[in-house]
Structure 1
Amino acid sequence: MKPDRVKVGLRLKVLKDTLGISLAEFAERIESTKGTFNSYLRGVALPPETIVDKIAIVTNATKEWIYFGTAKEYMEGYLENLNTYEEFKIAHPDKLDEIVREFEDSLGTLKITHGINELSNLKELSQFYSEAANEIFISNYNIIFSEYVERLVVEYIKELEKYPIYNKLWTSNGRGYLSVLHERLSRIFPKPRYGEDETILKIAEEQYELLINKILLMYKDDADIERGNLKTKSTLEYLIRKFSTYEGIENLLKDISVRNNLIFNPNAKENEELIEFLMTTLPKLKQIKNNK
């Protein structure tokens, strides 16, 4: 975030008033003209670094404060400009106050880790402040976002946990539904934001279907699912189950499309005809099974 020239002008006015000198005298001390310095005060122009360096010497203010104000003021301005996070900001105003305090408290440590000092130029200062603010905001935001996603998909999680094999093969090795879902959300551009329920639920449903299909493939029949018995199911048996209904074939095609980064529109005429054709193969699939 670049310095706000209007806010810089207000801070320069504070410095001038604190010294108790006229506009003309202040301009003379920093080797500028009255008109030019007045343009800085009114926020018409941003003073160049050479002028800010002279102002810092005359007033004992830091270059950082002149350009960005206090840590609190900077972080508040940063948060105001986060237009893509409006839903989050509205839902968690207390969290925003906490983020401002955290930035204020940790600014000194962040300067050391980033190698920043008062002699740094404006480009370095701007980059540092922006990266430091972003680092603190995102670390706080990610925690809230994770909790928000978990609340949205709680019903999917409950359904998956009905299958003993899910806990045995997925959750126990750190590849549970939520973990995989967050990984997928992080790869999407633009990344879904807090409050975008519809977008997140659509992706969550696709991920649920992928996982539930893998689970069902491991069970021989519904009785085995109730007992929680893991058995080997053949591809033929799996296809018979899927091809028994229009929805089953549609979900299978969705699964294939997602796995291979393909576009699948179930309402497209060609896909409707494809599903209807595949349904006609069900008798043949059953015949193959009976001939085994």
Structure 2
Amino acid sequence: MFGLLKPNKEQVGSRLREVKDELGLSFSEYGNRLGLIKTTINSYVRGYSLAPLEVVEKVSALSGKPVGWFYFGEIEEYIQDYLLVRGQKALLKDHPDVPLKIKEDFLTGDFKNPGWETEFGYPLESFIDDCYAEIHIKLLREYVQLLALNYLNDHTSLEESKKEDASIFLSSEVMGYYEATRDFAYGDTEKIMATIESYYEGTLKKKELSFDDGYLVGKLINILADDEETEQLISGLSRELTGKRFSNFFGGNELIQVFQSLRPELLKLYAETTFDDYYDWFEK
């Protein structure tokens, strides 16, 4: 009936008491309504023992509250408690809205499916896992990039204009390592910082920043960082599409600037995507 997350008998008792008080019943009257002796209902309400399903179903019918609420509270409480059991305390502390996002997806998702529900009408733990995996990877990327920027601020003398690029590069490298190993989690600050340092020492400290150009996104980021290479890119496109060569010898810098204005968006895309994404886009 229950998965990894088990009901807390004291919390269940507190909710049973809430119904008792709302109805204005004594323990004896409450027990009579449920077909229980006073000592038994008292044990459930005080959280000494967990009320069985048949009792909770009777209280549910009596109060109009769903069975799941007695065992786990509101859906978002259930989701949060499950994620805490799964060890996600650090992320939930920084992003307390995550359970509400998963609840919203459960209630209004594009592919709403009764198969997602437990017998209580709450999301299956596997559904929570799937939703959380998508949210977690996005927030972990942001977390790693922030730590990378902090590392660069504290341990390097890079120009300010280059730190954002470098933080995206490092976070992408570290996330690639994460995808392959799952060696850290959100909140593992020391381990992530050590990984960032390792990649910095092995790459940026030894050579100029260059994004992986095996796919178009990284290639364009590298090209658009340089005026001359951007001019060559535009000229190649112009010859391909119109048969005419482009040069900024007599002007045309405006067009170069327009092309280079794409670079911040490409950097954002680079930070948010994986090589699996690129494979899907360019090779499948």
Shorter-chain TM-score category?
0.5 to 0.7
1:207 counterpart = 2:206 = no
In the alignment, what sits opposite 1:65? 69
Equivalent of 2:60 in 37, 56, 64: 56
In the alignment, what sits opposite 1:30? 34
Deviation at 1:215, TM superposition (A): 6.5
Quick check: 2:19–2:63 contact (8 Å CA) kept in 1? yes
In the alignment, what sits opposite 1:151? 146
Equivalent of 1:181 in 167, 174, 183: 174
TM-score, normalised with respect to structure 2: 0.52
| Alpha-carbon distance between aligned partners in 2 of 1:40 and 1:144, rounded to the nearest angstrom | 40
1:149-191 deviation digits (Å, cap 9, x = unpaired): 22333448x69x99xxxx9xxx9xxxx6533320213444652
Deviation at 1:43, TM superposition (A): 1.0
1:1-292 superposed matches below 5 A? 1-75=5-79, 77=81, 85-86=89-90, 88=91, 92=94, 95-96=95-96, 98-109=97-108, 112-113=112-113, 115-116=115-116, 120-121=118-119, 125=122, 128=123, 130-135=125-130, 139-154=134-149, 155=152, 177-188=170-181, 191-194=184-187, 196=189, 198-211=190-203
Cα distance change of structure 1 residues 57 and 151 upon mapping to structure 2, 3 Å threshold: closer
* SS, match of residue 36 in structure 2: coil
Cα distance change of structure 1 residues 55 and 143 upon mapping to structure 2, 3 Å threshold: same
In the alignment, what sits opposite 1:271? none
Cα distance change of structure 1 residues 150 and 74 upon mapping to structure 2, 3 Å threshold: same
Quick check: 1:12–1:66 contact (8 Å CA) kept in 2? yes
Cα distance change of structure 1 residues 77 and 178 upon mapping to structure 2, 3 Å threshold: closer
| Alpha-carbon distance between aligned partners in 2 of 1:64 and 1:134, rounded to the nearest angstrom | 19
Deviation at 1:12, TM superposition (A): 0.8
Deviation at 1:47, TM superposition (A): 1.1
Cα distance change of structure 1 residues 177 and 76 upon mapping to structure 2, 3 Å threshold: closer
Say what the alpha-carbon RMSD is for the aligned residues.
4.0
Gaps of 5+ in 2: 209-284
| Alpha-carbon distance between aligned partners in 1 of 2:103 and 2:88, rounded to the nearest angstrom | 23
Cα distance change of structure 1 residues 50 and 121 upon mapping to structure 2, 3 Å threshold: farther
Cα distance change of structure 1 residues 70 and 209 upon mapping to structure 2, 3 Å threshold: same
Count of aligned pairs? 193
Which one-letter code corresponds to 2:74 in the other structure?
A: T
| Alpha-carbon distance between aligned partners in 1 of 2:132 and 2:77, rounded to the nearest angstrom | 15
Gaps of 5+ in 1: 217-292
1:4-30 deviation digits (Å, cap 9, x = unpaired): 211111111121223333322322332
Quick check: 1:71–1:107 contact (8 Å CA) kept in 2? no
1:27-46 deviation digits (Å, cap 9, x = unpaired): 23323332121111001111
1:254-276 deviation digits (Å, cap 9, x = unpaired): xxxxxxxxxxxxxxxxxxxxxxx
Quick check: 1:27–1:34 contact (8 Å CA) kept in 2? yes
Which one-letter code corresponds to 1:115 in the other structure?
A: G
Deviation at 1:195, TM superposition (A): 5.5
